[in-house]
Homo-oligomer: A and B are copies of this chain.
């Protein structure tokens, strides 16, 4: 199924953790994924954290305005502040407009 993400906005969030309060971080991360899925324009999320500590989360939105609304959602904003205070050593957000996509599944 190609092209189904065309015109979406992708938010690529990469982070490294301090290692402080891992249980609190895990709870918050899970809660934010659930909350994101309830927002207008949500199209999906994928997340991975490797053994070297780098985490990558990509969320997809129907429009850039939907992505901005999620950034500014009050519970999300408060959790991000908690993340700056405790969990994150560093993070980067890249906002990008999807041009095309391609999917392959083993037959």
Contacts and interface: CB of A to CB of B under 8 A. Distances in A.
Contacts of A55: 48
A47 interface: yes
Interface in A90-106: 90-106
A90 B104 CA distance: 6
If over half of A's interface residues share one DSSP class (helix, strand or loop), that class is named, otherwise mixed; here it is strand
A31 interface: no
A84 to B, nearest CB: 7
Interface string A9-22: 11010100010000
Contacts of A95: 98-101
Contact of A91 (B89, B91, B104): B104
A58 B90 contact: no
A84 B98 contact: no
A84 B106 CA distance: 7
A22 to B, nearest CB: 14
Interface of A: 5, 9-10, 12, 14, 18, 46-50, 52, 54-56, 58, 64, 84, 88-106
